[in-house]
Structure 1
Amino acid sequence: MPLATTRRTGLVDQVIEQLRLLVTSGEWAIGSRIPAEPELVDALGVGRNTVREAVRALAHAGLLEVRQGDGTFVRATSELSGAVRRLCASELRDVLETRRALEVEAARLAALRRTDEELDSLTETLRRRDAALVAEDWESMVRIDTDFHAQLVACAQNPVLTELYQGFTEAVLASVATGVAMDNAAACVQHVSHSALLDAVRDHDPEQAAREAGGFLDEQLDRLGEPGEHTGRS
């Protein structure tokens, strides 16, 4: 997607929109470094200050991340995702508490709104995840488990909830991997079973689905202890 020379009115807004489109379309992938400032100045036909202001605005929105001495990198594909991605550096307890807030309601809504096709997809994903678990293929298990939760949230048929969770995926992946690392292989099988959750969604039982979604996260939170217990935080 080539950059187009901008008109001479509303330059900053025009540059912001062009750069945002390159990010949201995937032309500039998450984690990639965007062109250096001189390249953007030449391509857009604007001054350095205009480019800097546009980049600063997108960094403030969470789409870009400016790393001094290293360049500017794509952080997220939307302002909402960018805001949520800041949680990825939070402690595990903070991530689990946020997961609980999102996933419990998502499970409840999924039990009410899921389609047969979505249920089939959930069932197959859980089957693959459990196969990886039995094989002790922890890398695959973590990835597929994260996919299962994302699919479950999508079954809630709530676009805002889905967008929130998509922006939170990196933190979910990290929390799943950390949870697996906390357990030995035998305990892991017990702690991460989602069969009852899937059954509740299949049976259109929203209250049971919510209990199951919150239950395994509560177990992980209990194992972490109270806030500050291990970190010395107040």
Structure 2
Amino acid sequence: MAVTDEAIETIKAMIVSGELPEGSRLPKEETLAATLGLSRNSLREAVRALVAMRILVTRQGDGTYVSSLEPHLLLDGLTFAADVSQGRAAVQLLQVRRLLEPQATALAAAKVTEEDLAVLREILDRCAEAETAEQFIELDMAFHRHIVGLVGNPVLATLLEIVSTRTQRVRLIRGIDTTAAFSSAHREHEAILAALSTRDAPLAAAAAMSHVAAVEQWAAGGGVSRSTAPEWLAGGESVTG
């Protein structure tokens, strides 16, 4: 194992053991380097890597601290991996979304308020008036994000953001019939909203499942004719390269 990798693992172990609790300030560079038996350059490389992982945070002029270590914060670093996924990896992300989103939507059905329904209604009305794919994508993400937010679980929300990023959605629309795509996605969204308005958790889960399953099947099969690509925004996965 490289010296820098060993330093990363050692600092992680210090955090896990409680020697460096969340929110604590790291010892001075020279002190920590001596403790770990590292050169200061190797320690700096390790710290930079841990900052990139959101395990450590730097405060200009104040030093380096252990982050809050909240799971959703640490998971956010996986977004790039989802953004660049293609082929089989994209399909696997869709499978994860299919497992998570219907249950999240079912949980949201028990918590949704009239105010929430009004917000979702307004988003869908704006979706119907979207003039570009980019506008529709932003509204699509806002629709799903609001629903998942009702659950009150930031870890779940982050996981669903990871398996369905904006970059994935943008890449999927290349070359497909966007008019048909808008119509298909909008119908699926309306079905989800209708289910939420009845507070029927099983129905909400079924509507969300339908919204994701068709595009997963399409992605797994390598694609179909562009004019019949189903629910291009339902999963937004990069299946077109």
TM range (shorter): 0.5 to 0.7
Match of 2:182 among 167, 174, 189: 189
What is the distance in 1 between the residues matched to 2:26 and 2:214?
56
Q: CA deviation at 1:164?
A: 2.5
What is the distance in 2 between the residues matched to 1:154 and 1:188?
25
Distance 1:63 1:81, change over 3 A: farther
Distance 1:51 1:99, change over 3 A: same
What amino acid is the match of 2:184? Answer: H
Matched pairs, number = 176
What amino acid is the match of 2:120? Answer: L
Q: CA deviation at 1:99?
A: 2.2
What amino acid is the match of 1:113? Answer: K
What is the distance in 2 between the residues matched to 1:109 and 1:228?
32
Match of 2:77 among 66, 78, 82: 82
Q: CA deviation at 1:104?
A: 1.0
- Identify unmatched segments of 5+ residues in structure 2: 1-24, 34-38, 58-71, 225-241
Equivalent position of 1:232 in the other structure = none
Q: CA deviation at 1:59?
A: 4.0
Matched, 1:172 2:165: yes
Equivalent position of 1:128 in the other structure = 126
Match of 1:139 among 134, 139, 142: 134
Q: CA deviation at 1:58?
A: 3.4
- State the SS of the aligned residue for 2:108: helix
Distance 1:10 1:148, change over 3 A: farther
- State the SS of the aligned residue for 1:156: coil
What amino acid is the match of 1:47? Answer: R
Kindly, what percent of the aligned residue pairs are identical? 24
- Identify unmatched segments of 5+ residues in structure 1: 13-45, 65-76, 230-234
Superposed CA deviations along residues 120-152 of structure 1, whole A, max 9, x for unmatched, are 2222112112211xx3x1110111111111111
Higher relative contact order (CA 8 A, sep 6+): 2
Superposed CA deviations along residues 145-171 of structure 1, whole A, max 9, x for unmatched, are 1111111110122232123234x17x4
Q: CA deviation at 1:85?
A: 4.0
Equivalent position of 2:216 in the other structure = 221
Match of 2:205 among 207, 210, 231: 210
Pairs within 5 Å for 1:10-159: 11=32, 47-59=40-52, 78-91=73-86, 92-132=90-130, 135=131, 137-159=132-154
Distance 1:126 1:49, change over 3 A: same
Once superposed, what is the RMSD of the aligned Cα atoms?
3.3
What amino acid is the match of 1:204? Answer: R
- State the SS of the aligned residue for 2:139: helix
Distance 1:5 1:105, change over 3 A: closer
What amino acid is the match of 2:180? Answer: A
What is the distance in 2 between the residues matched to 1:83 and 1:225?
22
What is the distance in 1 between the residues matched to 2:26 and 2:202?
55
Distance 1:198 1:98, change over 3 A: same
Superposed CA deviations along residues 163-196 of structure 1, whole A, max 9, x for unmatched, are 3234x17x43234334444641342134202101
